[in-house]
Amino acid sequence: MTGAMQIESYRKQLEEFERRLNQELYLYYSGQKKRLEIQTIYSDYSGLFSVESIREVEAEHKNTGEFYSSRRMSLKKIYEFLIDQHLDSGTAQMMQENERVEADRTLVWEGKEIPLSQVPACLRDEADAIKRRKLNERYAQSSGKADLKQKTIAQLHAAALNLGFKSYADARTHISGIDYVKLLNSFDEILGRQEDGYLEKLRVSFETTLGFPFREAGSWDVAYWWKKNDKKHVFPAANLTSVIQSTAVELGIQPERTDAVQFDLERRGRKHPRPFCIPVSIPHDIKVVMLPEDGSRHYAALLHEAGHAYHFAWTSPSLPVEHRIWGDRALSEAYAFLLENLILDTQWLARMLAFTKSKGFLHVGALHRIFLVRRHAGKLCFAMRLCGKEPCDNVAHEYAETMKKYTGLQHNPESWPDEPADGFVSADYLRGWILESMLREYLRSKYGNTWFMNRSAAGFLKEIWETGLLYRADELCREIGMGDLDPQVLADELSEGLRS
């Protein structure tokens, strides 16, 4: 039987592993390392993530009486973390290879050699619709990641079967505690009721902005559509950091330790273009990384990552490691969305950016948000099919059909390998959006529409942030007194966005 000393040993190893892994991820994606090297880290902790360790913790959890609720919760968290990392350890080499392909491969476009990582930026800037479609096709054909992605999925499935699960999807359900079928069905219901209005609004906006029939539009047009409707002069890169810092100061959520959250905004040649937050050590060493540019998407991105960072930085250091590093990922996504969606708040725009004539921008922003929700519902649907018990007969075709069904836009079938191997993260976003809508409604009702300037609202946020990942999203809702996690709250907000 696993004793108290053995649990402390697990905790120590988990914290060491998490710190080493996240430090490696930070150094690589921030452009300070040429190659991602995580396989060695997983090898060093192979005993921790072994089947034997998983079974040992599982048995201890089963043998611990219901009276010892805190111990049972801790053992369950450790058990889930070990399974999660056991599955990931089998694909570490493939992840490294995928990053090498992304970093080293290029395509020739209009006489220039473009790194694959720069293609999304080129699509965003390309004004010619035919060229955007062709560049997207070239990108999908040049990535050469389909075989590697198939191997990754096969490895995850095999590892799940070895642990006694029916499929990788079944393993993820067991680890997360999320009923993915029920969650997707709830979104299918609310999105189905909005579909006609959504498609009509998107059609009008696309045709007005891009100047060609909506039936010809594809996912490769979205970034350019958003760029054309953005207000770059309102969101200059020069003011980005000061606006985010002013928001944190006015609300009163800046960490007590000034060095707890570090914003890495330096330009490096190999720096990953997508913003991210890496909690190297919660709550003392949190990195926020991005390449700042003009435009609202950069403000939204930095606000989003700051939401993650402040949650991690305010997490109580007295919590056992399992409640700081492992739990319901929808929690932190909700806090990130709460800050991100300030760019769709009329009063925040007026206060922080003197942007008072924002109606047109807010209309397109609300429409873009609905698109994102629908896209992630599609991603979850595809992940459930891809990683389920029965194999897909035609993965590429199923991907394109699924994503078009949910978003209304064409998707290149050959782009399916660009989706994360673990598409179930989309469930975290979907549940995070629900919780965010409920939290914002709660904050407005209790502290007013300008809650983002209210120190009492900050006190409330810091109080729930201190609990780290102790609670699940639905548990936190009940603890606060908001009831169950309710998709209808998000549905009502999205419907309001369609009417704007």
CATH 1.10.1370.30 fits 180-499, yes or no: yes
Return the pLDDT at 387.
Answer: 92
List CB contacts of 149: < 8 A, sequence separation 6 or more. Answer: 98, 416, 417, 421
Tokens read off for 307: 């939401």
Residue with tokens 């120590």: 12
Residues of the chain with pLDDT under 70: 1-5, 421
Return the pLDDT at 81.
Answer: 97
In 10 A of CB 192, how many CB atoms? 9
Contact 348, 444 (CB under 8 A): no
Q: What residue segments make up the domains of the chain, in order of their start?
A: 4-100, 106-142, 180-499
Q: Find the DSSP H helices in 387-424.
A: 395-407
Residue with tokens 């409640």: 323
- Dump the DSSP string for 483-495: -S--HHHHHHHHH
| Closest-CA residue to 386 (of 140, 86, 156) | 156
List CB contacts of 236: < 8 A, sequence separation 6 or more. Answer: 294
For residues 129 and 135, give the distance between their C-alpha atoms in angstroms, rounded to a whole number: 10
For residues 436 and 335, give the distance between their C-alpha atoms in angstroms, rounded to a whole number: 7
For residues 185 and 166, give the distance between their C-alpha atoms in angstroms, rounded to a whole number: 21
Tokens read off for 420: 């994360």
287 DSSP β-pair partners: 262, 278
pTM over 0.85, yes/no: yes
List CB contacts of 316: < 8 A, sequence separation 6 or more. Answer: 283, 466, 467, 468
